[in-house]
Amino acid sequence: MSGTVFILNGPNLNLLGKRQPEIYGRETLKDVEENCTKLAAEHGLSIRFHQSNAEHQIIDWIHEARETAIGIIINPAAFTHTSVAILDALNTFEGPVLEVHISNVHKRESFRHHSYVSLRADGVMAGFGTQGYELALLRMIRLAGLQPVDV
């Protein structure tokens, strides 16, 4: 394996696939983890996949990633729109950061249009459903230098 990518998920995403399928689809977070694990392995990467409803836990994982990860993919969920603390933590991480939203936040309520995390993210996926995680991982594979990158 040539590196580890942290995939971090914020509050209520443990309910993925179990509630509001019209917004978030039918795949569970376990399904997303399995898909990402398989894709990462195909490219010689490993992943650490986590979800928490607690802001401090997400910050602690970002700190851990500083020591061990080549990149972070994060769906901060509602903390996207509120958390300066998660932004500050991400600003201490030196590798690529990709932000994922399952839904198209720009098509939803105006309070979802602003993201603190986007001030740090190198790229943002929104509205691609749970496939957005795999698309972000493919981008991470490029950024990690495992495939050529143009921009």
What is the 8-class DSSP label of residue 69?
A: -
> Is residue 102 marked as binding?
yes
Q: Which two tokens stand for residue 125?
A: 């996926």
Q: Which stretch binds ligand CA2 (CB under 6 A): 32-40, 101-109, 116-124, 134-142?
A: 101-109
Closer by beta carbon to ligand CA2, 20 or else 91: 20
Among 4, 37, 103, 131, binds ligand CA2 (CB under 6 A): 103
Angle of CA points 102, 107, 110, to nearest 5°: 105
> Is residue 103 marked as binding?
yes
Torsions phi, psi for 97 (to 5 deg)? -125, 125
50 binds ligand CA2 (CB under 6 A): no
User: Residue 151 and residue 139: Cα distance in Å, rounded?
Assistant: 11
101 binds ligand CA2 (CB under 6 A): yes
24 binds ligand CA2 (CB under 6 A): yes
> Is residue 88 marked as binding?
yes
Closer by beta carbon to ligand CA2, 46 or else 104: 104
User: Residue 118 and residue 6: Cα distance in Å, rounded?
Assistant: 17
Going across the sheet that includes 71-75, the strands are 46-51, 4-9, 71-75, 97-101, 123-126
Closer by beta carbon to ligand CA2, 93 or else 133: 133
Catalytic residue among 43, 50, 63, 101: 101
Are 75 and 137 in contact by the 8 Å Cβ rule? The answer is no
Binding site for ligand CA2 (CB under 6 A): 12-13, 15-16, 19-20, 24, 75, 77-78, 80, 101-103, 105, 112
- List residues with catalytic annotation: 24, 101
